[in-house]
Structure 1
Amino acid sequence: MDRYERILALHRTLKSSRYGVSIQTLMQDLGCSRATLYRDIAFLRDALAAPVESVGEGRIRYDEKEAGRFELPGLWLSSDELHALLAAHQLLVRTGDGVLSTALAPLRGRIESLLAQQAGGKRWPVERVRVIASGVRRRDEAAFRTVASAVLDRRQLEFDYLARSTNERTHRRVSPQRLTHYKDNWYLDAWDHEREGLRSFSVDRVQNARMLDEVARDLPDEELNQHLASSYGIFSGTPKAVATIVFSAKAARWVADEHWHGKQEGRFLADGRYELKVPYSQSRELLMDVLRYGADAEVVAPAALREQARTLLQLALATYER
């Protein structure tokens, strides 16, 4: 912990302590020597005008009358907070051109201002923090704005939807529930009035979106969570089965640290392989993620999912045997 972070941590500790903190406790919490701690206390008191006072032998606190009013001058961020701010800045940069970028421009400018304050006027090399998108699809910024507005205004929404799986166009009237960012793309979770059920729509396939005057139907959070978060990936719904996948010992080093699902179960086998169990509703996206591991992944159960994986691999192999 550098001096900057020690001062911040010391301030936060004294700010929250009503009866004072012992020097010994502060040394342990800050990981510093007694001499270093006393120098930090002197800087906090003399340079930053903090209301530090002694309370008994070996204990200090902020003066009760001044503690509530005193704050460190300027902007003070821990290294974790600073790194998060840098990452947020790069996420905003990555929005690219269009309506969304224009709307977020003031926030991006504010973050750049905060970073400048933190650096004492010097420039942070923000280009050295990279956030790389993967598989981002083109989207209509006007449609995105309409969808987002309907979600936030709690209004019904009407649009044409070109399903990627069937390439069929349908007209939908929905009550938006949530706007979800998943794997670098945006999805609308909504109640479909004609089909009387919850559906997820890829926003990049939404066309001719129009916000209606009718108030959107709100579903309870419990129902949304059960339907939209209970099965694998964006293709949500009540889980139909639990997939068991076994990964090679080589792939296990990666898979064991990956988050596939909130209710996943994983364990290392005796030979170093890794067994992962994941609930799922639809198999398509699950198999896409499994098959990217190639020969390092084997679908063990259920039998229907294993057979589906086998068929996909055979079709892929047939392509190369032509």
Structure 2
Amino acid sequence: MARNEQLIRQHKLLQLMEISRFGRTLDELRDDLVADLGLTKLHSRTVRRDLEALQAAGFAIQSEVVDRGRVYKIGQFNQNAVHEVGVSATEMIALAIGRELLHPLIGTQYWRGIETFWNKLQETVPDGVYDHYQRYRKTLHVFGSPAKSYEEHAGTLKTINRAIVEHRVVEIEYASVGNPVRQRRLEPYGLAVYQGSIYVVAVESGIPNPDNQTTGQRLRNWKLDRFQSAVALSEYFAPDESVDISKHLSKSIGIFSGENPTSVKIRLGKRAAAWVREDPWHPEQRLEPRGDGAALLTVPASHPREVLPKVLSLGLDAEVLGPAEFREAVAVAVKEMHRLYQDDGESSDDSAGT
């Protein structure tokens, strides 16, 4: 059998034993391998050799005799060292993937924690376990994360984090896109990572509230990239204990989350409907068939700018039906794009440089 097939089989063996609290017999492991890997046949002797090879590599595979026969399961690497964490190759792969997805945090205190923990794991696990991890890790590649880092914002992030824990008001200089720098005072409740960017979930302090909005309704997500400075003041605020940040962030398809999102209806053609089925926009979306593969999508959104890029990416295969504010936002964008593309691109570029 080819080496990569043996590697896949042994990795599946480890997974089967990791999820089995009471262990599995050789025959049970063989049957599970045949079913999970789509094999036509597999001898118990092959499974035994794989187990012996994994034990020789340093995996803490234990066996004991029970009523149904001898069972095999994963044990701890060092059961006497209560402060050590036993980690499997499968768990190392999961951690490695998560680490790569969090690359935008490089330079922050969070990344330093990730790196020190990762380094400890690599030093702790037996060489055979680490070698198995390295070989199997090559089967999965992670890419597409934003090419950015918050290293320059490490000091600001520390200040915000301390203010969240201590419930302190933060004075910031904030530069929204296209607007001058403004001084703001925030009551920060938490941090959120969305599509590789960090946001501070906060209420703006000292702003009148004539409509008597709740704290949840007044929460806004402030992008850390736009912070020019941040100072934790000697001024404290009483946090609203009813605020649920996770709930606040889950109510919309984008980062413009709010207490009362709008249900947006979008007509999708056959191809667009298929794409949205493959990659849903939101856990609570509804996709109603309309014949010939088309569908009506209903999805929560708190701001037209959340819907705009998604709809435009689908071209003529998507149409916002309502509410009017969201439909108008797309219409205005399409009109402006039409005006832009009426001119010859090269001549427009030449005139821009003169």
Whether 2:149 is the aligned partner of 1:144: answer no
2:245 alignment partner, SS class: helix
Q: 1:84-143 CA deviation, whole Å, 9 max, x = no partner?
A: 233234345555567776665534544655789433399668798343334758763432
The Cα shift of 1:283 comes to 1.1
Q: Retained in 1: the 8 A contact 2:103–2:145? A: no
Q: 1:255-281 CA deviation, whole Å, 9 max, x = no partner?
A: 212232232112343111233211122
Q: 1:122 to 1:188 in 2, by over 3 A?
A: closer
Q: Retained in 2: the 8 A contact 1:175–1:190? A: yes
The correspondence for 2:94, drawn from 67, 74, 84, is: 84
- Paired with 2:273 and 2:162, the residues of 1 have a C-alpha distance of 43
- Paired with 1:10 and 1:128, the residues of 2 have a C-alpha distance of 22
Q: 1:163-212 CA deviation, whole Å, 9 max, x = no partner?
A: 22x61443322221111111221110012221363121111111220123
Q: Retained in 1: the 8 A contact 2:248–2:259? A: yes
Q: Retained in 2: the 8 A contact 1:100–1:141? A: no
- Paired with 2:276 and 2:222, the residues of 1 have a C-alpha distance of 28
The correspondence for 2:10, drawn from 3, 17, 26, is: 3
Q: 1:63-88 CA deviation, whole Å, 9 max, x = no partner?
A: xxxx99x524675322xx34323323
2:265 alignment partner, SS class: strand
- Paired with 2:31 and 2:132, the residues of 1 have a C-alpha distance of 33
Q: How does 1:304-319 map to 2 (within 5 A)?
A: 304-319=325-340
- Paired with 1:261 and 1:272, the residues of 2 have a C-alpha distance of 20
Q: Retained in 1: the 8 A contact 2:87–2:125? A: no
Q: 1:71 to 1:247 in 2, by over 3 A?
A: same
Kindly tell me the number of residue pairs found equivalent between the two proteins.
309
- Match of residue 44 from structure 2: 34
- Match of residue 200 from structure 1: 221
Instruction: For 2:195, give the aligned amino acid.
Output: K
Whether 2:264 is the aligned partner of 1:243: answer yes
- Match of residue 300 from structure 1: 321
2:131 alignment partner, SS class: coil
The correspondence for 2:66, drawn from 45, 55, 65, is: 55
Q: Retained in 1: the 8 A contact 2:89–2:130? A: no
Whether 2:233 is the aligned partner of 1:233: answer no
Under a length normalisation based on structure 2, what TM-score does the superposition of the two structures give?
0.70
- Paired with 1:103 and 1:142, the residues of 2 have a C-alpha distance of 16
Instruction: For 1:28, give the aligned amino acid.
Output: D
Under a length normalisation based on structure 1, what TM-score does the superposition of the two structures give?
0.76
- Paired with 1:123 and 1:227, the residues of 2 have a C-alpha distance of 39
- Match of residue 185 from structure 1: 197
- Paired with 1:113 and 1:45, the residues of 2 have a C-alpha distance of 19
Q: Retained in 1: the 8 A contact 2:106–2:149? A: no
Q: 1:273 to 1:136 in 2, by over 3 A?
A: farther
- Paired with 1:226 and 1:101, the residues of 2 have a C-alpha distance of 26
- Paired with 1:136 and 1:248, the residues of 2 have a C-alpha distance of 35
- Match of residue 130 from structure 2: 119
- Could you tell which deviates more after superposition, 293-302 or 3-12? 3-12
User: Identity of paired residues, percent?
Assistant: 25
- Paired with 1:227 and 1:75, the residues of 2 have a C-alpha distance of 34
Instruction: For 2:76, give the aligned amino acid.
Output: E
2:89 alignment partner, SS class: coil
